[in-house]
Structure 1
Amino acid sequence: MRTLAGRHPGDPRYTRLVDELLAGSPEVRDWWPQYDVQARRSGRKRLRPPGRAVAEYAFTAFHLAEQPERTLVIYNPGP
């Protein structure tokens, strides 16, 4: 969300959503101005599918050069 809002600083849809989040959440008001966004291209995530145990996955994200807001993320079950 922060990455996309940063890519489209004048887009009223993002501005409106961020304003709503800031108005409705003290936590967002605390961390939004402090958080520096760095795009992650790969890493590991822990996910909990409904009704199942936590599982760890490796992920890789691919961004389209012409449309960087479009991302394909591939998850691979970890060891």
Structure 2
Amino acid sequence: MSRGRRIWNGMKYVIYVELAALAGGYYVWHKMNINQDYRKYMHKTFPLVLEIFYKTAEYGGIKDARTNDYEKWGVQPKS
């Protein structure tokens, strides 16, 4: 097997892993976007991921997602 062929075979696996990570990330983002209970679960278990979601939502123009969630959950926002 030529050297170029081995490199291409290795790169295929890297591309597959990156596509799987992208699909998984989109799945989690979509689920957080439509399900407030899932956001609460993420708040308890993966707060950094939820913070990234809120920052992305604020950048996209949804300014009150964090406020609405915290009010419904009875959580005080961190200052």
Give 1 or 2: higher helix fraction: 2
Structure possessing the higher radius of gyration over alpha carbons: 2
TM-score (norm. length: structure 1) = 0.30
TM-score (norm. length: structure 2) = 0.30
